[in-house]
Structure 1
Amino acid sequence: MSSFRSRQRSQAGRHFIRPAAEHEASKPEAPAERRAPVQREAAARPPRELDLFAPCPRGLEGVLARELAALGAERVETADGGVGFVGDMTLMMRANLELRTASRVLLRLAHGRYRDERDIYALALNVDWPRWFDVSRTIKVKTDGHGSGLRSLDFVSLKVKDAVCDRFRRAQDARPSVDTRYPDVRIHVYLDAEWATVYLDTSGEPLFKRGWRDETGEAPLRENLAAGVLLLAGYDGSQPLLDPMMGSGTLLIEAADIALNRAPGRLREFGFTELRSYDAVAWEGVRARARQAEKPVAPLPIHGSDRAVQMLVKTRHNLGRVGLAGAVTLAQRDVLDARPFAESGLIVCNPPYGVRLDEQDALAELYPQLGSWLKQHFAGWTANFFTGDLRMPKLMRLTPARKIPLYNGALDCRLFVLPMVAGSNR
């Protein structure tokens, strides 16, 4: 998991994830004489009620909460960096398959106070790990934190790994092996200043990995963030949509999947298939219902273009990989040469960000031209620019109707929403 952010509520027992700090302050080791940590273990719950958490790019929590509510999740509650919810095993499988904006779906197994690594070891040892997966499965433990005073999060991961192995030895006189590259089972630990939470990852690889990509342009937009940008722009699959800076086509592919009601995870595998609770018949039923809900592939009112011929080639390749050849109209052209193909619609794009000074100067020259291009040609359309360059609307000489804060990893970005009203320059 690339980032975690959390909000802990000891009285309610709910835990939420937040991005981890890269450098945590150290604190002296706690004395050996101390009280036993407060512990709670979700593994003992009835199987029909799983305590789940779906992290997502920051800024998309509301979108993800609406997705979960539409799936029938209960006790949906947003936090900074994700959404907590409750559901059964079928809902967990559907969430992995159908959520467009989630990064993972995590199952909480333990939650408790800690003072040092020994408390976290005891917390993890209290989980009945053999109940959840077989000793033949390989494991990987990853720890993130925000405000933790422990010296090394890697050492915490090592102690949790030891606890998992010790619990297996106690039950079976055998232990699982570690595989840090391609584990069967991933375990996540999150720490804040006072509380530790242990999660079982039901997703495996992060959910933005849809299972089709083998070609990317420079700095591709992650698929779950692209889907969130589209949904925040109001795209529901019915409106004409144009991406005049398409790169490798991520926004176009996510838009087509929305228009065709295709489950974003239909081409990939998931971590929950390695768990003891995995029900292959139930999973096939979930997949079959998702396939039945799909619309047939046909030409869509979705157009994309890029001035770089290599991006056109990569986008065409990616569309073929995902089964959308012929569904999206592509062209090689400069953004300023793009024209509307309907009376109204949405422009949604992710322009390049200026990192070096010369790039920023070039963009400062481009932005006024983009503003004029929109005013001259796109009356009746709404332009949605997702960018890390916060100067953009001012330099375009346009006033956004909305400025939606989003994060692309650690980069502070905005989705600028610009309705182009006929006869108006602002």
Structure 2
Amino acid sequence: MNNNFKMVAKTLFGFEPLLAQELRKLGAGNVQEGTRSVSFEGDTGFMYKANLCLRTAIKIIKPIHSFPVCNENQLYREIYNMSWAEYLSLDTSFAIDATVNSDHFSHSLYVSQKVKDAIVDKFRKTDGARPDVDVKFPDLRINIHIYKEHCNVSLDSSGRSLHQRGYRTATNIAPINEVLAAGLLLLSGWDGQCDFLDPMCGSGTFLTEAAMIACNIPANINRKEFAFEKWEDFDQELFEKIIAVSLKKTREFSHTIIGYDKAPSAVRKAQDNIENANLTDYITVSRKNFFKTEKEVDGPLHMVFNPPYGERLNLDMEDFYASIGDTLKQAYPGTEAWFITSNLEALKYVGLRPSRKIKVFNSHLESRLVKYVMYEGSKKAKYQDQK
């Protein structure tokens, strides 16, 4: 018997193909890319697995009802007529998240209020009492999405955004989002097949995500809770089986993952977060100024980092980005270097031509993920050796 149902995974701009690929590898059916989202099909166990394992998903929602809607009375009536007893009981709490893009509705908070009224009125009619609303820690989070004249009602199976992995307790100024970090690593082609360096590691997010990719560790294994664990139909035994099977698919990593930062406080925070993620066997963090370092490993090196943008620190951007280019050219042969920046003007001062530029967003900032390939010796020498 096929118990599959439709789900939607939300993601960041530009990560839709990455997320679709992840879903297919996990075994999802009918995977279809949308805008900042990917829809797919699977059963309850797959919903648990998607929340546990996906690196580039922000939320996994489960659509339960959809209908055309043109006014608030129609919205109230459709919500009221749903079988809410399947999902809620009097001793469970709920919250409503609404997003609205419609000529008929202009305020998402008003839509949330109307949906809440319909649900509690239904319980008062059938049970003589109503469940409580808990905005911060609800047992059930309901997602309402109105686009033009169509409304989708979904259950949020994740709860807090899936970028909140659970390992990062210490952060620096403007730390990079964990989902963004994982996506950038995957865009860079990182697969754990060589040594890795983040020369400006901050609180260690790239390092931790790189190690989890290299070892195939489930992205959210350190999370304390998912929203589906509070659902009426939660299957604890099935979830524990999903965790056990996912952990059996981890693999050994035989290379090095190294982080540098010149701030002692950043080094301590990175080490704390790495310890929280149980990855100290794989990652080494040192207090070093990247501009005074040189490549320490033989063979290919994969480098990914997030330099200051000028918004976070008071720096001479021209000099800073020129130093990045000089250090890469002079001290890091055999390196594939990637970094993200929203300071597109500063890229001109690197003094190297990027072999790739990928448009991404870091929060609200339009940014570029750029790639520089540092050859062993010069390109000309390499060409002459081949003649």
Q: Where do residues 191-206 of structure 1 align in structure 2 (5 Å cutoff)?
A: 191-206=146-161
| Corresponding residue of 2:269 | 314
Which residue identity does 2:153 align to in structure 1? V
| Corresponding residue of 1:286 | 242
Moved over 4 A (4+): none
Deviating more after overlay: 117-126 vs 56-65 = 117-126
| Corresponding residue of 1:210 | 165
1:94 to 1:424, Cα distance in 2 relative to 1, 3 A: same
The root-mean-square deviation of aligned C-alpha atoms, in Å, is 2.0
Helix, strand or coil: the match of 2:245? helix
1:151 to 1:323, Cα distance in 2 relative to 1, 3 A: same
1:166 to 1:246, Cα distance in 2 relative to 1, 3 A: same
- The alignment status of 1:368 with 2:330, answered yes or no, reads no
Which residue identity does 2:60 align to in structure 1? V
- The alignment status of 1:354 with 2:327, answered yes or no, reads no
Helix, strand or coil: the match of 1:236? coil
| Corresponding residue of 2:360 | 406
- The alignment status of 1:68 with 2:23, answered yes or no, reads yes
Structure-1 separation of matches of 2:23 and 2:309: 32
Q: TM-score, normalised by structure 1?
A: 0.84
1:362 to 1:149, Cα distance in 2 relative to 1, 3 A: farther
- The alignment status of 1:342 with 2:298, answered yes or no, reads yes
Contact 1:135 1:174 in 2 (8 A): yes
Deviating more after overlay: 171-180 vs 151-160 = 171-180
1:287 to 1:326, Cα distance in 2 relative to 1, 3 A: closer
Which residue identity does 2:339 align to in structure 1? F
Helix, strand or coil: the match of 2:316? helix
Contact 1:256 1:300 in 2 (8 A): no
Helix, strand or coil: the match of 2:369? strand
Q: 1:149 Cα deviation (Å)? A: 4.8
Contact 2:70 2:104 in 1 (8 A): no
Q: Where do residues 120-269 of structure 1 align in structure 2 (5 Å cutoff)?
A: 120-268=75-223, 269=225
| Corresponding residue of 1:379 | 333
| Corresponding residue of 1:116 | 71
1:395 to 1:281, Cα distance in 2 relative to 1, 3 A: same
- The alignment status of 1:393 with 2:308, answered yes or no, reads no
% identity of equivalent residues: 34
Helix, strand or coil: the match of 2:59? coil
| Corresponding residue of 2:260 | 305
Q: 1:313 Cα deviation (Å)? A: 0.7
Contact 1:61 1:83 in 2 (8 A): yes
| Corresponding residue of 2:385 | none
Deviations 1:157-180 (A, max 9, x none): 011111222333344333210111
| Corresponding residue of 1:330 | 285
Which residue identity does 2:192 align to in structure 1? G
Deviations 1:180-219 (A, max 9, x none): 1111211111122222211110011111111222211111
Q: 1:96 Cα deviation (Å)? A: 0.4
- The alignment status of 1:78 with 2:33, answered yes or no, reads yes
Which residue identity does 1:242 align to in structure 2? L
